[in-house]
Structure 1
Amino acid sequence: MKIKVISVLCVLLAILIYSCQNEDDITFKRYYTTGSLVYQSHCQNCHGNDGLGLSALMPPLTDTAFLRKNKTSLACFIKYGLKDKILIVDKRSYDNDMPLTDLAPIEIAEVLTYVANSFGNNQGLITSQKVEADLAECK
């Protein structure tokens, strides 16, 4: 009997905690969680599971200043790749190509939300609407 009561109380507590979250928190968590999966399947091979990159070959994703400075270009980098461009990340130069992807804007938003809030970064939600606007401005 005691176990039933404790189980019911735990379920009620979980429902109460979940219901206290606002829509933005729920959206952020959904983007972040799905972004982690997108990162694992599309980015981790080059940038590493810890976002530290591959030595002098692939840049790290831990440079918060670089991410902030290039916030409107990141979606373009992911969608269309990088070729013949030198990036300075964490005071080091990188000139290897980044392949283009066939990710949808929602997937790009999810992976950017994950990266922008992992590896020492804390930049909040990046929406699919923001990504679509940034992609429309790609040069």
Structure 2
Amino acid sequence: MINRFTFGTICLVSMLYFLFSCNSDLSVETMQYATNGQKLYVKHCQNCHGANAEGLGKLYPPLTDVQYLNENRSKLACIVKNGMSGEIKVNNVTYNQQMPGVPELSAVDIAYVLTYVTTYFGDSKTHFKKEEIEEFLKNCK
């Protein structure tokens, strides 16, 4: 008999596979990254940004602004790793809450979660590569 966690994981992977299999533009590797990223998103991001990345009112921004995601691609890894403070404008709404970073995430973990966010909630068809994230992290301010 399988336990709840195993059953839930199987259901989640099956659901994501089905979801992404309908999109032939995504490679198998991108789908794998997004699946791994979904688990990390639930653990580290969902509480504030929501299950569907819709944000929380005027407190926490949504992660669905494709323009913001595309224009700030090189900054996203630093935001995940180190957090951010100060004003941010997303979908023409200004937010000013401090976001804590998740410093324990490795470069590949950050690649996973950003791939999930940008493919599932954005319009990206490719994944972040570990080497790309490592380069971005070298340039954090």
Q: TM-score range by the shorter chain?
A: 0.7 to 0.9
**Equivalent residue letter for 1:98:** M
RMSD: 1.4
Runs of 4+ in 1 over 6 A off after TM superposition: none
**Equivalent residue letter for 2:55:** G
The percentage of aligned residue pairs carrying the same residue is: 38
Q: 2:43 aligns with which of 15, 36, 41?
A: 41
Identify the residue that residue 101 of structure 2 maps to in structure 1: 100
User: Residues 1-139 of structure 1 correspond to what in structure 2 (within 5 A)?
Assistant: 25-83=27-85, 85-101=86-102, 102-119=104-121, 121-123=122-124, 124-139=126-141
Q: 1:110 & 1:46 partners in 2: Cα distance?
A: 19
TM-score (normalizing by structure 1): 0.79
Identify the residue that residue 5 of structure 2 maps to in structure 1: none
- What runs of 5+ residues in structure 2 fail to find an aligned partner? 1-25
Q: 2:98 & 2:120 partners in 1: Cα distance?
A: 23
TM-score (normalizing by structure 2): 0.78
The number of aligned residues is 115
- What runs of 5+ residues in structure 1 fail to find an aligned partner? 1-23
**Equivalent residue letter for 2:129:** T
Q: 1:103 & 1:133 partners in 2: Cα distance?
A: 15
Q: 1:28 & 1:92 partners in 2: Cα distance?
A: 30
Bigger-Rg structure (1/2) = 1
